[in-house]
Amino acid sequence: AQTVTQSQPEMSVQEAETVTLSCTYDTSESDYYLFWYKQPPSRQMILVIRQEAYKQQNATENRFSVNFQKAAKSFSLKISDSQLGDAAMYFCAYRSANQGGKLIFGQGTELSVKP
Amino acid sequence: KAGVTQTPRYLIKTRGQQVTLSCSPISGHRSVSWYQQTPGQGLQFLFEYFSETQRNKGNFPGRFSGRQFSNSRSEMNVSTLELGDSALYLCASSLGGVWNEQFFGPGTRLTVL
């Protein structure tokens, strides 16, 4: 069975600084997708960024980028120029290419941004 | 385009009762997935429906069931409620392909007393 682990329950960053959230996963599959979701206090889950396992190039979305290390099964999220609106719970998630829409989530990292 | 809607937003039930939650996906989306979110267990996958068929199922007891209608709207039912069923229930819709983005609804907060 696949598992996703986020070892940092809480993180804090100063506004305008950079922060990296860690995520590791375990799978025996070769074809899968990885995601980072943001859940603000409103509880609305929002997709931040996604990565296809077969792509070596790391995904980037504006201030958000990932460091995907397939051999190490590591998928970290880097947030540059942090803003107050980035404060939220961040979830790393795994989706197999063979299991439809099923997402397996990590336990989450609560990010606070200090002004 | 309207987002994913879930009704009701809040629900209070007592142990032993049953409950039905509803999810209306984004227009054109054929896949609806359900998740349970609790402080202790985190986010756990319940099941996914695609074109009225259950495509995937998580590790939940048979008290948890669902269905999807021809208009892609989905309902989730929990029978014989237990205190541990208190949670935020999220649904997500997508076009159905594994790469397609899942759009989440605001959730239904269920409290079992």
Give the whole-angstrom CA distance, residue A58 versus residue A78.
11
Pinpoint the alpha helices (H) of B1-113: none
Contact A47 B102 (CB under 8 A): yes
Mutate to test the interface with B, among A44, A49, A54 (most CBs of B within 10 A): A44
The three-state secondary structure class of A85 is helix
Burial (CB count within 10 angstroms: exposed 0-12, middle 13-18, buried 19+), residue A58? middle
Give the whole-angstrom CA distance, residue A3 versus residue B75.
28
Mutate to test the interface with B, among A7, A33, A102, A109 (most CBs of B within 10 A): A102
Tell me the pLDDT band of A114, cut-offs 50, 70 and 90.
very high
pLDDT tens for residues A9-28? 999 999 999 999 999 999 99
B contact residues 1-40, partner A, Cβ 8 Å cutoff? 31, 33, 35
A81, A87, A69: which is closest to A22 by C-alpha?
A: A69
Contact B104 A97 (CB under 8 A): no
pLDDT tens for residues B26-55? 999 999 999 999 999 999 999 999 999 999
How many angstroms separate the CA of residue A108 from the nearest CA in chain B?
Answer: 8
The list of chain B residues with pLDDT below 50 reads none
Give the whole-angstrom CA distance, residue A30 versus residue A10.
30
Q: How far, CA to CA in Å, does A64 sit from each of A52, A59, A80, A83, B112?
A: 16, 9, 7, 12, 39
**Using an 8 Å Cβ cutoff, are A53 and A30 in contact?**
yes
**Using an 8 Å Cβ cutoff, are A74 and A67 in contact?**
yes
Give the whole-angstrom CA distance, residue B30 versus residue B99.
14
Point out which residues pair with A63 in neighbouring strands: none
Q: Which residue has the tokens 């829409």?
A: A101
Tell me the pLDDT band of A101, cut-offs 50, 70 and 90.
confident
Q: Which residue has the tokens 């069923």?
A: B85
Give the whole-angstrom CA distance, residue A76 versus residue A27.
16
Kindly list the residues from chain A whose CB atom is less than 8 angstroms away from the CB atom of residue B72.
Answer: none
The pLDDT of residue A53 is 92
The pLDDT of residue B23 is 98
At B76, list the tokens. Answer: 């989730």
Question: Does B56 touch chain A if contact means CB atoms closer than 8 Å?
Answer: yes
Question: Does B94 touch chain A if contact means CB atoms closer than 8 Å?
Answer: yes
Q: Give the pairing of strands A24-26 and A3-5.
A: antiparallel
Across the range A95-113, mean pLDDT stands at: 93
CA nearest to B3 within chain A: A44
pLDDT tens for residues A48-71? 999 999 998 999 999 999 999 999
Percent of chain A with pLDDT over 90: 89
Contact B48 A47 (CB under 8 A): no
CB within 8 A of B62, min separation 6: which ones?
none
Burial (CB count within 10 angstroms: exposed 0-12, middle 13-18, buried 19+), residue B67? middle
